[in-house]
Amino acid sequence: MASSPFSSSSCYSLKHPFMIFVSFLIVMFSPVNGCFTSIFSFGDSLTDTGNLLAISISESKKLPSSAFPPNGRTFFHHPTGRRCDGRLAIDFLAETLGFPFLPPYYGFKNGGREKFQKGVNFAVAGATALNSSFLAERGIQNPTTNISLGDQLNSFKHLLPSLCSSSSECNELLGNSLIVMGEIGGNDYNHAFEQGMNIEKIRQLVPFSVNIIASAINELIELGAVTFLVPGNFPIGCSPAYLTYFQGSDKDKYDPSTGCLTWLNQFSQHHNGLLRKELEKIRNLRPDINIIYVDNYNTAMRFYRSPKQFGFGETIRACCGAGGVYNYTSSRTCGYPPVRQCCSDPSSYVSWDGIHYTEAANKWLAFGVFEQLINSIPSFNKLQTI
């Protein structure tokens, strides 16, 4: 096996795009050690490694669709609570940095130092950045969970004393950890769009959602966190779910080269633009903090613009679904009977279930994360955290 070109004293030092790609392939089989001691992750279903499933079991609620096959078929060979045929981008990130898959917090609340020594995942499928009461006041209901980013942050603060026994020890722990803040905020808009809210009213939610994300980052900075990955929103106009919701829109509203709805993608870009401005404000106030914006939008758009280059044959049709133009039906989601069948080759699809990505797409999204890590922190040499 080839040895990793990355050492604990110089985690990343390559700049040429081809060398970045080669290095990513190498580290997929030779984990990078020495950059961080832990990973703490917050977010929604794009990052949930089993939290909603654990919550549903503990509260004796209806199990989510992620509890049933064919979810998990490609890598785990059984459902794990991930809304995917295999690994998520956060799984690839953990693997490549030399960590085990992040355990879901709500599945092991009493895990403590031993269980969560290398990190923990607080992301919950359906979670929003804004809390449920704020959304309810505006007529938006969350049909999946009442957990928001604030709730996840409170869970983290509740757990922290079991991971470190003093403020200096906690500062050291968080200073040596990677914080993955999202993707979060997408469901604030998803629920509103699904419930028929006018797009101009939904746009009014964006500054509030972005401010919540920024506030969470600032709160974690005060606790001692130093390095953040902050993913932006994806091009929702390319989602089979949204394409189904708004099927029949004027042809002028579609991008002829991708089949995506341009006005929805513009909405995603609006969220991302405001998010980047807020992150820049934090950087200016705290130049000692590493905040890496993860450009999920443009990384994913590569799939839709040049699918063959990434090995994809289907971009805007779901692998697992109940039929229709985009193989998506909101009332018959992947995993719930009778939707137990899926395409024969998920690796040739971008979308797994109409909303979430396949393992194949998640692997490329993780590559995008590493591209931005390399380009955002000079040679990564300053992250000598061990």
Residue 4 CA to residue 380 CA, distance in Å, equals 15
Residue 214 CA to residue 314 CA, distance in Å, equals 36
The conformation of residue 376, written as its DSSP 8-state character, comes to H
Distances (CA, A) of 239 to 34, 265, 307, 328: 37, 10, 15, 10
Name the active-site residue from 44, 85, 91, 353. Answer: 353
Show the tokens assigned to 158.
Answer: 């509740």
Residue 309 burial (CB < 10 Å; 0-12/13-18/19+)?
A: exposed
Phi first, then psi: what are they for 65, rounded to 5°? -60, -25
Q: Which of 379, 359, 372 is CA-nearest to residue 95?
A: 359
Tell me if residue 78 is catalytic. Answer: no
Tell me if residue 330 is catalytic. Answer: no
Measured on CA atoms in the order 160, 280, 10, 375, is the torsion positive or negative? positive
Name the active-site residue from 38, 41, 45, 155. Answer: 45
Number of H helices and E strands in the chain, helices first, is 14, 5
Measured on CA atoms in the order 161, 165, 167, 169, is the torsion positive or negative? negative
Cis peptide before 95 (omega within 30 of 0): no
**What is the distance of C-alpha 274 from the center of its chain?**
18
Contact between 13 and 381 (Cβ < 8 Å): yes
Residue 292 CA to residue 227 CA, distance in Å, equals 8
What element of type H or E holds 293? strand 290-294
Residues present in the chain in total? 386
Name the active-site residue from 41, 155, 177, 356. Answer: 356
Residues linked to residue 148 through DSSP beta bridges, in sequence order: 128
What is the β-pairing status of strands 119-121 and 38-42?
parallel
Distances (CA, A) of 51 to 18, 47, 67, 81: 37, 10, 11, 7
Tell me if residue 239 is catalytic. Answer: no
Just list the catalytic residues. Answer: 45, 353, 356
